[in-house]
Amino acid sequence: MPGLRRASSIAVSGLVLALQAVPGFASGREGEQYVPVVQFIVVATLAALLVTIGGGIVSGAVRAQRTNASILKGGALGVLKGLGAFVVLAVVTTGVLTVASGLFIAYAFIVTRGVE
């Protein structure tokens, strides 16, 4: 049980530090325009992490309850599955955004070429 307390205190500390980073600030006028965008990215990423881990915990606990296993152990396995789902979600999102931005750049080149 002491290991679980230590791990949960580390997790809560990390969450508190991450939430303190949300109201980011810029050091000068030239960076002020990016603050809302960075805040949106940080909040969306934290929300995705919490949703995937929470879903993994619930899924693992329900599966453990159905098989008469320890719910705590099922929840712990659910945390690992939730982290794996978060990594997969991040990889897929990064790939989709990369392709979409490439298509947008190509579209912008085509449109501006006709304007000249």
* Cβ 54 vs Cβ 78: under 8 Å: no
| Average confidence score pLDDT of the chain | 84
CB 55 within 8 Å of CB 82 = yes
Model pTM score: 0.66
Report the percentage of the chain scoring pLDDT > 70.
83
User: Of 49, 45, 43, 40, nearest to 86 (Cα)?
Assistant: 49
Instruction: Look at 1-5, 10-14, 44-48, 84-88 and tell me which has the smallest mean pLDDT.
Output: 1-5
CA 29 to chain centre: 29
Nearest by Cα to 40 from 23, 27, 54: 23
The DSSP letter of residue 74 is H
pLDDT value, residue 91: 94
More reliable by pLDDT, 92 or 3: 92
Give the model's pLDDT for residue 113.
77
